[in-house]
Structure 1
């Protein structure tokens, strides 16, 4: 066990413990002997301060300004207005969260102290919280969940320009100030080398992986099983860049063009596009065969996932998705589920033979792949078994998380 000399302060502009990666990292470090404190956003019904499994949690009120997603068929002028509102909204929200983190961090520093500030992006402004403490000799870890310039371009179908230059500046500052950086895959690692000239010994790849709870079999949802239909399942965020609109249009093709009605699709997750997706489902006449459940409890999520026959990853090709790794793919594999996905580099690396791959962004081909897999029960079983073995031996959190412990051993050995 690592000695308990390390006190870590984590910053995340998300809910805790709902953010799976942050929860996994905080839990792993706590189990390894570190004292971990987390500053996060406060969800309705959550306490402002509490201790969860030895992790001290401080929660800040959530501030959200404006709708940040363009409606379907929006014209160029309205799209420009949406982008401007989104930019102003993000500026205010990120400035608020960064300033609030600085205040709470100062309180924690005075009251109990810490050795490391570990910032999870987005936003890339949290280096401003770490800066004064760096001057006092504390360490800074930058954990890059997303490439913010690519996230902006993918979300708004935008080219390089004014906004992306600002985002690249913040990203560069975060990478440069960090004593060590965490990348979720080799693609992100190479990008950190290229954009900030990081020393290879200061960059650690900590992949997303399901924890032990996801590896334990659970009873499938009786409600879904009683439908006697093929159950399709999606878990994850519902934002413009996540491709759930591609999934809905694929299901319309499956239902109306391929005349395949023997399915029910369960979509679990929240995000800025949830209501837009519900409207799109109604427009596509899918309401009888899909459910957009929004946020569900962990118990319901596991039961629904256990009941699935096929899981889907509709992330389209985009500047962000082409190099990103999504934990939902590994969670599908942990439940031994076959996957239909667009053929993206990091998705193929993660899933291997557990997925059927479709040319990126081809909705009709995505529907055809689902139909073909529905007709091949033995193939589904083989794909699911392969995915389960790959997670057990290579991709579960207990395996991939070891690099995080190595990163901290390296970081604090320099004290």
Structure 2
């Protein structure tokens, strides 16, 4: 089949989207991808067999109109015009929409060109907006209503031909909203294996590491409080933070107030290879996300990276993360906002180096939580769609 994926960001790089596209190409499909560009990239390019179509987007449409998309459809018009323009030449059989915002565009364009359409929900979008800072402002609340996004999700999930989510919890949430179970596939955020880290960082003290965005909702403020408690009985440790975000200065101030700033290293954003270099040398990897309707219905692929690298995982009690860590016996779970519990679990990992968490997680990734398993589900989902087209 001839497939047009639609992505609201620059491409490459998006690891999940790339893996899905390459898996479908391997299965015999022709995959195109429509995305915007703010970097003056070429309007058309073939990348690893993916036919990329790009359109420049203004800052106003991207930053302002996208937030108000349900109120003022200028953002939707940008995308519809773009997709109709590409389809004049290519004639697609399937539209594959990545994430909820462009669901309406996918539905309306697919209906017009007589194509099937797939809605690929990487996140619980309304849940994400409920914890996003830009929706907390007066203007943000007016332009981006959570209840409207919830209704929007229900409407377009009901009319999508197929739906993809990243965890069972997300599927269960949609089924509770009345979406037919048979058309929802779980294609998780697992990793491609094998992979090898050529060199690893050598650390002297016991090293905790976090890799990812740094915002309030990543929960690192509770980690710092917990480590200050750890420091009272065990002082030979350090925390390495790989990533950037608007909450960095808050954390630096907090670390100083807790008198542990000499043990916290802020490395900023790092290229993938460098990030893996730091991860490979750590003793314990953290996923401290604040528990919310967003984090209870998605899964970070770094969990599987950590496990494949044979690292014990210390994570907060977000539903999918807790389920997988406990199933795999790959680490310990603490209540996300409980520094005392964090410190207890951290000390347990420090004091019990023969815990087998790393080996357990590594084996589970090899057996179950890897992309070859998800690829089979994705391709079968498209086989079902093809039967309906024929």
> What TM-score results when the alignment is normalised by the length of structure 2?
0.86
Match of 1:7 in 2: 2
Provide the residue aligned with 1:180 in structure 2: 162
Task: Classify the secondary structure of the residue corresponding to 1:377.
Answer: coil
Using the TM superposition, give the Cα deviation of residue 125 of structure 1 relative to its aligned residue in structure 2, in angstroms.
3.6
Contact 2:124/2:297, CA 8 A, preserved across alignment: no
Question: 2: CA distance between counterparts of 1:8 and 1:250?
Answer: 48
Q: Structure 1 regions of 5+ residues with no counterpart?
A: 1-5, 66-85
Structure 2 residue aligned with 1:357? 333
Cα displacement (A) at 1:205: 1.2
Change (3 A) 1:88 1:263: farther
Q: Which residue in the other structure is 1:400 paired with?
A: 374
Does residue 131 of structure 2 align to residue 154 of structure 1? yes
Secondary structure of 1:91 counterpart: coil
Partner of 2:21: 26
Q: Which residue of 1 aligns with 2:239?
A: 265
Cα separation, 2, equivalents of 1:42 and 1:320? 27
Q: Is 1:144 matched with 2:118? A: no
1:378 counterpart SS class: coil
Match 1:219 to one of 198, 202, 226: 198
What is the CA deviation profile of residues 376-415 of structure 1, one whole-angstrom value per residue up to 9, with x for unaligned ones? Answer: 2111xx1100001111101101112211111100111111
For 1:290, the equivalent position in structure 2 comes to 264
Distance 1:88 1:53 in 2: 32
- Which residue matches 1:372? 348
Any residues of structure 2 matched to 1:307-386 within 5 Å, and which?
A: 307-352=281-326, 353-379=329-355, 382-386=356-360
Structure-2 change in CA distance of 1:229 and 1:383 (3 Å) = same
Query: What SS does structure 2 have at the residue aligned with 1:237?
Result: coil
| Aligned equivalents of 2:346, 2:316: Cα separation in 1 | 12
Question: Where does residue 207 of structure 1 map in the other structure?
Answer: 188
Alpha carbons of 1:142 and 1:270: their partners in 2 closer, same or farther (altered >3 Å)? farther
Displacement of 1:44 in angstroms is: 4.9
Name the CA shift for 1:281/1:112 in 2 (closer, same or farther; >3 Å): farther
Q: Is contact 1:207–1:401 with CA below 8 Å preserved after alignment? A: no
Residue 366 of structure 2 aligns to a residue in which SS?
A: helix
- Spell out the pairing of 1:191-202 with structure 2 (5 A cutoff): 191-195=173-177, 197-202=178-183
Asked if the contact 1:394–1:400 (Cα under 8 Å) also holds between the matched residues in 2, the reply is: no
Q: Secondary structure at the match of 1:26?
A: helix
Alpha-carbon separation, structure 1, partners of 2:58 and 2:258: 33
State how far apart, in whole Å, the 2-side matches of 1:251 and 1:98 are. 46
Choose 342-351 or 134-143, whichever is displaced more.
Answer: 342-351
Q: For structure 2, which runs of at least 5 residues remain unmatched after alignment?
A: none
Aligned to 1:299: 273
- The two structures have a TM-score, normalised by structure 1, of 0.81
1:101 aligns with 2:79: yes
Retained in 1: the 8 A contact 2:79–2:105?
A: no
Name the CA distance, whole Å, in 2 between partners of 1:293 and 1:96.
Answer: 39
Separation in 1 of the partners of 2:255 and 2:107?
Answer: 44
Give, in whole Å, the separation in 2 of the partners of 1:261 and 1:354.
25
